[in-house]
Every structure is written in C-alpha cells, then in structure tokens.
Amino acid sequence: MIGKIDRDILLAHARTIASSGGKAVPEGATELSDLEVCGAAEITAMTRAAAERDGGVLVSSGGTTGTPKLTYLPHHMAFDRLLPVWRPLGVGDVVLNLYDAGRMWGTHYFVQKLAERTESTVIPSGPMTAEELELRLPMLREVGVTALASVPSVLADFAEMVLKTGVKPPVKTIIWMGEAWTESKRELVRQAFPDVQLWGIYGSVETWAMGSNRPGCDETTLHLLADEIFELEDAGALLTRAGEGWTVPVVRYRLGDRIEATRCRCGRGDAFRVLGRADDGFGLLGNYVNIADIVDSARQCPDVVDAQLVLVRDNDLADSARSMTVEYTGTAAPEAVRTWLTGSNVRLGTVDSQHPEAISARRVDRLRRIARTNKTPGAVWQDALGSGS
C-alpha cells in the first residue's frame, strides 16, 4: 500500500459517496479492505450527480475497441490539489499545447486550465504534421515558446525537427503525461534542449491526476498526491482518495495499471512506478505472453531504438493472436531481432520451435500511432485480412 488516510475519515468518506452513487458500505466495515471495489459505472454515477449541481465537462476514456467509460469532469479540474506540489509554469511562460482537442479527451483542456491557473500564456495548437511544424518553428521561436506539453512520442518528434532545422524556440520546460518515456525519446529531447526540465503527471481520464513527477525526481518515478492511497494488486492497483477538491472522490477504484512502490532520489515520499497494463497479455498459439515484456526486450536488442508488436487476431479465441510481427526502428537486421527475442523469452522460444512462421521482425522508419491521442501503443491488432484496429 502507498499513501495514508485516517481510518475514521476514510469510512465516513465511503458512507458519504455511497449516498451519491458509490458502493454501499458493508455492515461492520472497519478497514479499507472491508469496502467493495468500484468500477467505471460508479465513477460515472458519482460524477454525474456532482455535475447536476455544479456543471462539468463530459469526457471519456477508451472507446477505440471497447465501450467508452464516461466521467463528468468538474470545471476546476482539481488544480488546488495539484498546484502546491506541481507548478511547471508561471507568469511570463508561453506553453505550446500539442495535445489533441475535442474527441472527449481531457489532456488538451488540462493544459489550457493549467495556463489559466498559473497566469501563463498558452498556444492551443494541437498536434502538427512534420511539414506544419517545420513551417511554424520560426513563429514559435519568435513568440518565445518556453514550454511544450504533449505525449513523449510527439515531444520526440518536435525535438527531431528542432535538431534537423536548427530553429530552436527557448524551451526550458516540458510537460508530459498520457504515455511513458522511452530512453530514445528522452535522449532526443535532451539533445535538442539540453537544460530542459521535465514535469510529468500520472492520471487517467476517469480519475484525473493521481501522481506527479518534477525536476529532481527520477524520470520514471511519480509521487502520489496527498490524501490518496494505492493498494497494489496484480490485477491493477486500487485508488482511494478522501477530502475536498478532487475531480472524483473515489473508494477502491480499479485502475488498469500495475504499480510498484519505489524510492525517488528527490527524497519525497509515496513514490511509485507504473509497470504497465494489468491486462497486457495475449495468447500466441497457445502460449500466454506479455506485450510490455516483449517490447522491453526488443528495445534492449543491440541497434534497436524502439519497437512495437503487430498482432494478427485469432478470431476463434479471445485475446489471442495467430502471428506476431515485431516492428522496430534502428539499424539492426530483422533476423537478429527475431533471434534475440526468441532466445530471451522462453514462451516465444516455445512458439518458435513449433510455429516458426508465427514470429517475424520488420524494420520500419516510424512506429504506428493511435490517431486520437498520438500515443505509440505497445501493440497494434489486425484482422487476418490485414485491416488495422
């Protein structure tokens, strides 16, 4: 468990939210573990009840492959909780907001609100193609952009264009969330902007910000905000938070992510690391493998920069693939990458010995992105005929 909330406060809090759409508190409950785990339906009900009083913004997560999870986000976006420990911008700053607007996603509006609350200036650009960015870089330098906000995939693209053109806005701050860094993306950003300071948020559309990372922290480590608890479980961590000012006051909400407790070089407490999705596995011809494990392993292969799995769905079995192609950037030869993976992962080795045709590797110039968010997913599923999903 990470974080701490007084037991009496916690139980009183659970009773309060039970009366506005949360799960009922069982008779005789005395501990957090006596309370029921809640899910997306409770979040929708609780935030909807609050929005009937104060209004809000209706946002959604997922929806690409499953049913969208709806959340009514209060207009204050919980910035009073966040700004005392996480304040990346100030008066005089100009932030380029590269997050995509609309589509019921929240991050673009988070950055707009952050600028408003810190009295800085914001450019609501949204994502740009490489051509658009090349064209606009001189303007961005001219207006003095001091901060960039986006997912690491897009920040790396931005850095690459700055290195290519030599046109460099005076960026000193980078705000990231929505995706984890990879070594190669962080390196590109450091090369383009050597003294830049990184400020990160860990959150979800349903729960909004839960943890923060700031200069002085290890770059893969986050700190839980005050009055929150994470229960660490293999099926995904559970979030509980009490007190005023949150976007959603929640008891034992199952996050899809696996999380581990850690220490941070900054010395602040309640540090954690996100290990990946809890439901990140799939069957490959009868062998259960984990997407993050394979991608991590591929990234460690000599001369591979980054990697992603392209999986051909097995229509007869849920969460199963008939074949897997590792697409990667870098200079390694496909056969070397394939050999590396089947040699370093026991289950892939088993698949290889029985169905060698089911595993392949392909060098690409650029990994695939999710259109809605510009994130680089660990895996992309395709139907047998080759149409993407």
- Chain residues binding Zn ion by CB under 5 A are 217, 264, 266, 268
Give least dist CB 212 to Zn ion, A: 9
Angle of helix 291-300 versus helix 334-344 axis, rounded to 10: 130
CA 234/CA 130 separation, integer angstroms: 40
Least distance in angstroms from the C-beta of 270 to Zn ion: 10
Residue at 112: amino acid letter = Q
H or E segment to which residue 290 belongs: strand 287-290
CA distance 271 to 211: 9
Q: What's the helix, strand, coil split of the chain in %, to 5?
A: 30, 30, 45
H or E stretch covering 113: helix 107-117
In Å, what is the CA distance from 213 to each residue of 44, 74, 88, 182? 28, 23, 10, 16
Which three-class secondary structure state does DSSP give residue 57?
strand
Residue 149 or residue 217: which is nearer to Zn ion going by CB?
A: 217
Burial class (CB in 10 A: 0-12, 13-18, 19+), 54: exposed
Cα–Cα–Cα angle for 170, 174, 175, rounded to 5 degrees: 145
CB of 64 to Zn ion, least distance (A): 32
Closest contact distance (angstroms) between CB of 192 and Zn ion is 24
> What size, in residues, is the chain?
389
Sign of the Cα pseudo-torsion (186, 189, 194, 200, in order): negative
Minimum Å gap between C-beta 224 and Zn ion is: 11
Which one, 272 or 282, has the nearer CB to Zn ion? 272
CB of 266 to Zn ion, least distance (A): 3
Report the residue number, 214 or 322, with the smaller CB distance to Zn ion.
Answer: 214
Comparing CB distances to Zn ion, the nearer of 170 and 215 is: 215
Min CB(63)–Zn ion separation in Å: 33
Among residues 177 and 361, whose Cβ is nearest to Zn ion?
A: 177
Q: Return the number of the residue (112 or 221) whose C-beta is nearest Zn ion.
A: 221
Closest distance to Zn ion from the beta carbon of 226 (Å): 14
* CA atoms of 43 and 332, how far apart (whole Å): 46
Considering beta carbons, is residue 167 or 266 the nearer one to Zn ion? 266
Closer residue to Zn ion in complex, CB, 169/200: 200
Give φ, ψ of 181 to 5 degrees: -70, 150
C-alpha 46, offset from chain centre: 24
C-alpha 111/C-alpha 113 separation (Å) is 5
Tokens of 235: 């099926």
* Closest to Zn ion by CB, 203 or 377: 203
Report how far residue 304's alpha carbon sits from residue 291's, in angstroms, rounded to the nearest whole number: 17
Q: Which of 245, 240, 152 is nearest to 196 (CA)?
A: 152
Residue 292 CB, nearest approach to Zn ion (Å)? 23
Q: How far is the CB of 211 from Zn ion (least distance, A)?
A: 10
Q: Which residue has the tokens 């849920």?
A: 318
Q: What is the Cα–Cα distance from 380 to 349, expressed in whole angstroms? A: 22
Comparing CB distances to Zn ion, the nearer of 99 and 272 is 272
